[in-house]
Chain A
Amino acid sequence: MSIRYVGGRVASALITIALLILINFVLFRAMPGAPERIAAGRHPGVTAETFANIRERWGLDKPVYPISIVGEPPFVEINPENQFARYIASTLTGDLGVAFSGAGQSVAEMIGAAIGPTLLLFGLGELIAIFAGLALGAYTGWRRGGAVDYVGNGVSLVLYSMPYFLIGMIMLLIFATTLGWFPTFGMTTPGEQFASPLDQLLDLLSHLVLPVATVAIGLIGQYSILMRSSVIETLGEDYVTTARAKGLRDNRILRKHAFPNALLPAVTLIAINLGYVVAGAITVEVVFNWPGLGTLTVEALEARDFPLLQGIFLLLSVAVVFANLGADFIYGYLDPRVRT
């Protein structure tokens, strides 16, 4: 991988992130409505003064942009104190602000608390899906036309067509409601004092099974289809025919030639896919009452909590940028054609 390649990719990523920070601010300020009204609610005793005070606390009474257009000369007014400058300054120093709806918690705190559960859920789900999906796809791609191919492909296609939350609802109905094998909500049984770390781990595991299974099942379909078509394509390449003609055993061909080459586009697409996995995150977490980023996002949206929404949005976007960057590097490493 040449320095030019690396440098180019990193520079590109940085520019994207800069753009993201900018758009992030503009987007959320464009949202209509007044968050201070949601926070204060409707209750006798809440007056116009209350709203004014809250707006002042949140800095919402300052002008939004550094420059505003006015109706008279000089037609442009400079606002030294404005929300935009405050936002840029604090983001660059890593301070994501204090959430409107958190009763004192900072955005970083709230996101920090939610990120662990989401990573756990999706990390495990993705891992299982990657291994199982890629394996299934490789097998069905290799053995095209067999019974396993049809069944596997069929099941994968069906799963690929199902929204994650539907899978979740069905899992909940079967395994939690009807059979009662697994708990129905949350990540841990709340407030319990556990006799040992092992107990705590087991409790966590029992809560983890259904949500992770939902995520994994949802993704397996995608990955197996991907891998299958990738393997099929690779198998059509000339060098595979040559290898077979030379008398190499099929297993060896698969292992040394076809599989690594088929892996390439699959890996790239998995990395790019991370962006779309987020949509699944939100709905699965809602179905299972999982205390992660998805639940946080939905609540933040309801409460028009700008700082929190901005923080989550920024985090997710930057994560996708890095994932793509990572995919670029892996690709650059694996594919000799890119090295020049």
Chain B
Amino acid sequence: MRSSLRTRVVRTLAAGALAIGVAVPAAFPVVAQDELILRVGTDQNLKVLNPWSSVTYADYEVYQIQYDTLVGWGPETEPIPAFAESWAPSADGLTWTFKIRSGMKWSDGTAATCEDARYTWQTVLDATAQEVTLGSDYLPPYLTSAGLKAVSCTDPQTFVVEVEFANPLILQTYVPILPAHIWSGFTLDQIGNAQAADYFKNEPPVVGTGPYVVASWESDNFVRFVRNEHYWGETGAADEVILQKFESSETMVQALKNNEVDYVRGIQPDQFDALKSEPGIKVVEGAANGYTYLAYNLYPKPIPDGGASTNALQDVAFRDALNYAIDHDELVDKVLGGYGTAGTTQVPPFHARWYVPPANPRTFDIAEAKGRLDAAGYLLDAGGKRLDKEDKPITLRMTWPSSEAELATVAEFLKEWWGELGITVQAAVTEDDTLYSLLLLPEAGGTADWDTYLWGWGGDPDPTSLLRIFTTDEIGGLNDTGYSNPEYDQLAKDQVAALEESDRKAIIAKMQEIWYRDAIYDIPYYDSELHAYRTDKFAGWRNQPSASGTPLFVFGYGGYTALTDLAAASPSPVASPSPGASAAASPEPGGGTATGGDNTMILAAGVAVVGVLAIGGIVLLRRRSSGGPAVEEDDDE
């Protein structure tokens, strides 16, 4: 019978494939050959090889591994020699002279000289002068905010940089030095405009001076780096590095447990907890260089067809009172699973040198909040609703971007707490790009039709970018709230120009004090970075900075070059000397991990399902032998 033969053939093939599929994991080890490969997992897109288009941590990591910046970052994020061996400022601080490392070669063997540095930095100057957007425009600000004016090479080993004003930012430029002999043939449009017909994607084989360079890739799937034979320093134990994209942190964690990947970045708190008790896996909680925030619309002028729904938001006493009704510790516990720090000022504690906690931090105290509201003139009406000074009941809209789903929980809590104060909160999620447009102030052509919103900021090696957000210049740019304070603006300028660290710290401390007092935002928490890695292949994992950082996805490629081959080391078990915020603890009692019993139940259920389907299949195959009895037609009419 035609159909049954076909069916049987297909079934046999399927069964065969199934059998092979089962045999494969046993027969073939996951790591092939004797190459030592470091496999790193991320849930961010891997579509960018041209550094100018970098946006995400993953994009930055891709170019960090391959290229040197002019000055690098050491184990405590202090400046160390990279492309430049040494440097010195002039007496007035307006000219810097960098000595380029001699004998350095690009991965294709060409000599790496001052000309490459000059070309790279000049590209930024040209783009700024011609007002061309260079890729994503994330990299040029590192040079422009350091006041870059001109660059030149007096000889192949001497790089001279002129700046508009004295400042230390020139040593923290996160811009990769690119090979002039490859890149200089392209126009600004070709390297900066992804829509250009002849856009230069910088596809492999990539030429860089770093320890590894990209040898092959599949867009949005993986990027494969191989050892750079011409690297000037000590390369790490890994022969290859593979950066692999995962659709979700869940598949990533699974892969880590199944030894399909060695390092993962960006996992959930529950997964982090579960991994703590996994043998051979170490978890690390890194302080984040950034924070989640709740912003208030305090734009001081009325906006037709838009603006905040109540003038109360412009009153600092009102905002201050509201901030007393936010329980930061509860949010850290519930939303982050405990992996975070309660929020205070606009400089995250990650910046250990600059962070200054407020002298009188607010506590979570509903009674205090109510008292302050009453004292400020916001009284309750007969129905228990809080009225503003125009005698309108206060209803605050709250929104957050759809890309940050956990903010919904924060909103739920805020709604509850502020509800106790008599303030109604209307909470709804908004698509990311709609939110961007929604927030625009009149200076940027928008109507700022919002009251409060939740989002986050990520920082740079230097806190300047985070401090600058609240200046008057940024209104129409990143300053959505409309906050304008001449004192703050002046301090922002001063702190960049301060060359003495103690001076600078004092200025930044004052900025934090003003900011906290004026309650422009409330910062619920500084979320931690949650990473995990296997300890059975590589040793030498080193957190950067050692007290609060993670090994990879930090500044520079130090985490990669520090790795050693565990198999080649002495047989003593590697006890990682670095602290990190966690150790492999014993399983938490009553915690969230599945016990063996649960797994058995699932297994039993699974076997039952498979059994049923198998029975059906077998019976089908035996169908041919029996003749057919007449079937009863029970179609009633």
Are B631 and A39 neighbours in the complex by a CB distance under 8 Å? no
Chain B, residue nearest A102 (CB): B47
Report how many residues on chain A are interfacial, defined by Cβ distance under 8 Å. 95
Are B602 and A178 neighbours in the complex by a CB distance under 8 Å? yes
- Bound-state CA distance A113–B24 (Å) is 26
Chain B nearest Cβ from A234, distance in angstroms:
12
Q: Mark the stretch among B30-38, B348-356, B406-414, B497-505 that contacts chain A.
A: B30-38
Report how many residues on chain B are interfacial, defined by Cβ distance under 8 Å. 105
Q: Mark the stretch among B13-21, B309-317, B515-523 that contacts chain A.
A: B13-21
Is B603 close to A, CB under 8 A? yes
User: What per-residue 1/0 map shows which CB atoms of B235-273 lie under 8 Å from chain A?
Assistant: 000001010101110011011001010000000000000
Chain B nearest Cβ from A308, distance in angstroms:
12
Residue from A45, A98, A236 having most chain B Cβ neighbours under 10 A: A45
Are B260 and A184 neighbours in the complex by a CB distance under 8 Å? yes
Are A50 and B201 neighbours in the complex by a CB distance under 8 Å? no
Are B635 and A259 neighbours in the complex by a CB distance under 8 Å? no
Is A243 close to B, CB under 8 A? no
Are B251 and A136 neighbours in the complex by a CB distance under 8 Å? no
Given A32-B431, A44-B469, A49–B133 Cβ distance below 8 Å?
Answer: yes
Are A33 and B616 neighbours in the complex by a CB distance under 8 Å? no
- Bound-state CA distance A175–B141 (Å) is 49
Are B254 and A103 neighbours in the complex by a CB distance under 8 Å? no
Residue from B53, B252, B478, B632 having most chain A Cβ neighbours under 10 A: B478
Is A289 close to B, CB under 8 A? yes
Residue from A39, A142, A184 having most chain B Cβ neighbours under 10 A: A184
User: What per-residue 1/0 map shows which CB atoms of B618-637 lie under 8 Å from chain A?
Assistant: 01100110011011110100
Residue from A103, A139, A145, A209 having most chain B Cβ neighbours under 10 A: A103
Given A50-B133, A286-B247, A98–B630 Cβ distance below 8 Å?
Answer: no
Are B431 and A33 neighbours in the complex by a CB distance under 8 Å? yes
Chain A, residue nearest B222 (CB): A190
Chain A nearest Cβ from B613, distance in angstroms:
7
Are A184 and B254 neighbours in the complex by a CB distance under 8 Å? yes
Is B129 close to A, CB under 8 A? no
Is B216 close to A, CB under 8 A? yes
Are B476 and A105 neighbours in the complex by a CB distance under 8 Å? no
Given A104-B201, A138-B3, A209–B246 Cβ distance below 8 Å?
Answer: no
- Bound-state CA distance A93–B164 (Å) is 52
Q: Which residues of the other chain, B, contact A329 by a CB distance below 8 angstroms? A: none
Are B136 and A206 neighbours in the complex by a CB distance under 8 Å? no
Q: Which residues of the other chain, A, contact B216 by a CB distance below 8 angstroms? A: 191
Are A202 and B258 neighbours in the complex by a CB distance under 8 Å? no
Q: Which residues of the other chain, B, contact A255 by a CB distance below 8 angstroms? A: 1-3
* Residue in A41, A139, A190, A295 whose beta carbon sits within 8 Å of that of B244 in the complex: A190
* Residue in B30, B131, B633 whose beta carbon sits within 8 Å of that of A49 in the complex: B131
Are B144 and A45 neighbours in the complex by a CB distance under 8 Å? yes
Are B48 and A103 neighbours in the complex by a CB distance under 8 Å? yes
Q: Which residues of the other chain, B, contact A259 by a CB distance below 8 angstroms? A: 3
Are B220 and A291 neighbours in the complex by a CB distance under 8 Å? yes
Are B32 and A103 neighbours in the complex by a CB distance under 8 Å? no
Q: Which residues of the other chain, A, contact B137 by a CB distance below 8 angstroms? A: 40, 43, 45-47, 50
Residue from A49, A191, A251, A295 having most chain B Cβ neighbours under 10 A: A191
Chain A nearest Cβ from B508, distance in angstroms:
16
* Residue in A113, A131, A175, A193 whose beta carbon sits within 8 Å of that of B7 in the complex: A131
* Residue in A148, A192, A251 whose beta carbon sits within 8 Å of that of B32 in the complex: A192
* Residue in B260, B606, B627, B631 whose beta carbon sits within 8 Å of that of A185 in the complex: B260
Q: Mark the stretch among B147-155, B378-386, B433-441, B583-591 that contacts chain A.
A: B433-441
- Bound-state CA distance A142–B629 (Å) is 10
User: What per-residue 1/0 map shows which CB atoms of A35-72 lie under 8 Å from chain B?
Assistant: 10111111111111110011001100000000000000
Are A178 and B616 neighbours in the complex by a CB distance under 8 Å? no
User: What per-residue 1/0 map shows which CB atoms of A185-222 lie under 8 Å from chain B?
Assistant: 11001111111000100110110110000000100000
Are B224 and A191 neighbours in the complex by a CB distance under 8 Å? yes
* Residue in B24, B133, B599, B635 whose beta carbon sits within 8 Å of that of A236 in the complex: B635
Chain A nearest Cβ from B560, distance in angstroms:
16
Is B6 close to A, CB under 8 A? yes
Q: Which residues of the other chain, B, contact A176 by a CB distance below 8 angstroms? A: 254, 258
Is B88 close to A, CB under 8 A? no
Is A244 close to B, CB under 8 A? yes
- Bound-state CA distance A299–B45 (Å) is 9
Is A127 close to B, CB under 8 A? yes
Tell me the chain B residues, 442-474 only, with Cβ under 8 Å from chain A: 444, 455, 457-458, 460, 465-466, 468-469
Is B39 close to A, CB under 8 A? yes
Given A104-B50, A184-B251, A203-B28, A302–B403 Cβ distance below 8 Å?
Answer: yes
* Residue in B10, B136, B218, B468 whose beta carbon sits within 8 Å of that of A128 in the complex: B10
Q: Which residues of the other chain, B, contact A185 by a CB distance below 8 angstroms? A: 246-247, 251-252, 254-255, 260
- Bound-state CA distance A142–B631 (Å) is 7
Q: Which residues of the other chain, B, contact A37 by a CB distance below 8 angstroms? A: 432-433, 436-437
User: What per-residue 1/0 map shows which CB atoms of A284-305 lie under 8 Å from chain B?
Assistant: 0010110100010001001010
Are A33 and B433 neighbours in the complex by a CB distance under 8 Å? yes
Are A135 and B260 neighbours in the complex by a CB distance under 8 Å? no
Chain A nearest Cβ from B482, distance in angstroms:
16
Q: Which residues of the other chain, A, contact B402 by a CB distance below 8 angstroms? A: 302
Is B612 close to A, CB under 8 A? yes
- Bound-state CA distance A217–B616 (Å) is 13
Is A81 close to B, CB under 8 A? no
* Residue in A43, A138, A186, A194 whose beta carbon sits within 8 Å of that of B138 in the complex: A43
- Bound-state CA distance A179–B254 (Å) is 12
- Bound-state CA distance A37–B410 (Å) is 25
Is B221 close to A, CB under 8 A? yes
Given A37-B436, A53-B133, A155–B613 Cβ distance below 8 Å?
Answer: yes
Is A180 close to B, CB under 8 A? yes
Chain A, residue nearest B226 (CB): A191
Chain A, residue nearest B194 (CB): A104
* Residue in B14, B199, B254, B631 whose beta carbon sits within 8 Å of that of A104 in the complex: B199
Are B242 and A302 neighbours in the complex by a CB distance under 8 Å? no
- Bound-state CA distance A108–B623 (Å) is 48
- Bound-state CA distance A16–B494 (Å) is 65
Is B477 close to A, CB under 8 A? yes
Q: Which residues of the other chain, A, contact B53 by a CB distance below 8 angstroms? A: 103-104
Are B468 and A44 neighbours in the complex by a CB distance under 8 Å? yes
Is A311 close to B, CB under 8 A? no
* Residue in A33, A98, A172 whose beta carbon sits within 8 Å of that of B434 in the complex: A33
* Residue in A39, A113, A128, A151 whose beta carbon sits within 8 Å of that of B14 in the complex: A128
Q: Which residues of the other chain, A, contact B1 by a CB distance below 8 angstroms? A: 251, 255
Q: Which residues of the other chain, A, contact B466 by a CB distance below 8 angstroms? A: 44
- Bound-state CA distance A255–B2 (Å) is 8
Is B495 close to A, CB under 8 A? no
- Bound-state CA distance A33–B434 (Å) is 4
Q: Which residues of the other chain, B, contact A254 by a CB distance below 8 angstroms? A: 628
Are B22 and A184 neighbours in the complex by a CB distance under 8 Å? no
Since A295-B247, A304-B431 are in contact, a sample of 17 more A-B pairs with Cβ atoms closer than 8 Å, ordered by chain A residue number, is A33-B437, A39-B136, A41-B136, A41-B138, A45-B140, A54-B133, A57-B196, A103-B49, A103-B201, A145-B632, A148-B616, A155-B613, A178-B599, A179-B603, A182-B25, A185-B247, A251-B1
| 17 A-B pairs in the complex with CB atoms less than 8 angstroms apart | A33-B434, A41-B136, A42-B478, A43-B465, A45-B141, A102-B194, A104-B195, A138-B3, A144-B632, A148-B616, A172-B254, A174-B606, A177-B254, A184-B254, A185-B260, A254-B628, A255-B1
